[in-house]
Amino acid sequence: MRRIISLFFTVASLAINGQEVDYDSIYFLKNCIVLDARESIDEEREDLIYKWQFGDGEVDGGETVEHCYDSLGTYQVVLSIIDPSIVSQFQDEWIFEITISEDYLIGFDIDHSDKTISCKSKLTHDSNPDDMEFFWDYGDLQFGIGDEVSHTYDSAGNYTIRLLAMVTEGDETIELSASQTIKIQ
């Protein structure tokens, strides 16, 4: 007799963009998830019907499915496994929550006195990037590199300081930017 043993999912709030969880049946790629229920049965059962409800009105079928969410938020995912020979579910539905959230937030702090500024990047992230680089545009055709920089302006005026962060995670590079306008007197 073929029977279901258990369904292996991590039932928790999770982040996106490649972050792995305890069991690799769920992982994230941008705002997309891959759900895999193949390990949930003790024998091959090609006749079982897997029905996934993703909590955003979308439904899909199959042992393994990929789904992309249009917006950030917490979603209730429901899996039903149906045995067509008895037209019934094996057990109750499996219900768990997935949270799709921003992995990276960028900003920077500026301290200035007279015509000299000091800038420090603020990058928060949920995953462990392989590499991070920071590039600064001071708004006066001068540029800097590093997570902390300083610069002296030649003249007074309003300047827009731009920070570009390039975050490498695996073979993917993510570009983030932030800007602030300051007045130098």
Q: Is the pLDDT at 52 greater than 80, yes or no?
A: yes
Domain containing residue 77: CATH number: 2.60.40.10
Q: Is residue 125 part of a domain?
A: yes
Query: Last residue of a domain, which of 51, 78, 100?
Result: 100
Q: Is residue 36 part of a domain?
A: yes
Q: What is the mean pLDDT of the segment spanning 163-173?
A: 83
Q: How confident is the model at residue 41 (pLDDT cuts 50, 70, 90)?
A: low
Answer whether 153's CB lies under 8 Å from 115's CB.
yes
Q: Is residue 113 part of a domain?
A: yes
Q: Is residue 12 part of a domain?
A: no
Shared domain for 89 and 135, answered yes or no, is no
Q: Is residue 17 part of a domain?
A: no
Question: Which of 165, 28, 19 has its CA nearest to residue 105?
Answer: 165
Question: Which of 45, 7, 6, 3 has its CA nearest to residue 26?
Answer: 7
What pLDDT, in 10s, does the model give residues 85-119? Answer: 776 666 657 788 887 776 677 889 999 888 999 99
Is the Cα torsion angle 41, 44, 45, 51 positive or negative in sign? positive
Q: Is the pLDDT at 15 greater than 90, yes or no?
A: no
Domain count within the chain: 2
Q: Is residue 60 part of a domain?
A: yes
Q: Is the pLDDT at 46 greater than 70, yes or no?
A: yes
Return d(Cα 48, Cα 58) in angstroms, integer: 20
Shared domain for 66 and 137, answered yes or no, is no
Q: How confident is the model at residue 14 (pLDDT cuts 50, 70, 90)?
A: very low
Q: Is the pLDDT at 73 greater than 50, yes or no?
A: yes
Return d(Cα 182, Cα 134) in angstroms, integer: 19
Shared domain for 154 and 114, answered yes or no, is yes
What's the pLDDT at 8?
A: 34
Return d(Cα 101, Cα 23) in angstroms, integer: 20
Domain limits at 178?
Answer: 104-184
What pLDDT, in 10s, does the model give residues 174-183? Answer: 778 888 999 9
What's the pLDDT at 120?
A: 94
Say which residue, 40 or 140, is predicted with more confidence: 140
